[in-house]
Amino acid sequence: MEWVYKATNSKLDHMGTMLMVDRDGFLCRSAYEAATKTWADNVRQVDVGDTVHVYFGQKGRDARPIGSFRVVEPDGTHPVHAAVGKRVEGTALHVVDDPSFIKRRDPEGEYSEDPILGLFTGWVLQKVGQAPPFRPAMFRGRTTLQPYTKAS
């Protein structure tokens, strides 16, 4: 399955997001929504082996592609293997066992721990190429993670 994910500067800026995703191979994402304490939209549908096309959006500008990434299990060679731990049950997300990893990319503390789990969580990624060109139709509504179809 393929997904599109639009990060915004509500947490990290474009450079910080790009470094975390592209260099570290990690996309910080809570399993639960803070406002409703329910599962975040589509987060349980993403599985190991899926591809996530990551974009960065800012108000008043089209989103910029960061890249396409496969969701993987962290092996001993992955840049974040020592920082992440077990998977969040029912998802492909991993908990972050070493929060200093997040703090290195987010020194201002913009990311929040998952509101239910009380830990940072996210997907471990491996770059597979360039993301398709951004089209506004890829994102319907305000949901940041949506299924990708070539027609969208």
Q: Does residue 132 form part of some domain?
A: yes
CB 96 within 8 A of CB 84: yes
Q: pLDDT at position 131, please?
A: 96
Poorest-confidence range of 30-34, 109-113, 124-128?
Answer: 109-113
Query: Distance between CA 88 and CA 52 in Å, rounded?
Result: 18
Confidence at 15, pLDDT banded by 50, 70, 90: confident
Minimum mean pLDDT among 88-92, 99-103, 109-113, 137-141: which range? 137-141
CA 91 to chain centre: 13
- Residue 95 CA to residue 137 CA, distance in Å, equals 32
Please indicate, yes or no, if residue 152 is contained in any of the structural domains. no
Q: Are 142 and 2 in contact (CB under 8 A)?
A: no
- pLDDT attached to residue 12: 82
Q: How many domains are contained in the chain?
A: 1
Structural tokens at position 120: 């940072």
Q: Which domain holds residue 128?
A: 2-147
Residue 58 lies in a domain: yes
| pLDDT, tens only, 56-86 | 988 778 899 999 999 999 999 999 999 999 9
Average pLDDT over residues 104-126: 93
Q: What mean pLDDT is reported for the chain?
A: 92
Say how far apart CA 47 and CA 64 lie, in whole Å: 24
Specify if 143 maps to a domain: yes
pTM over 0.85? The answer is yes
CA 139 to chain centre: 15
- Give me the pLDDT at residue 143, please: 85
Q: How much is the average pLDDT of 9-22?
A: 86
In percent, the amount of the chain with pLDDT more than 70 equals 99
Whether residue 15 is contained in a domain is answered as yes
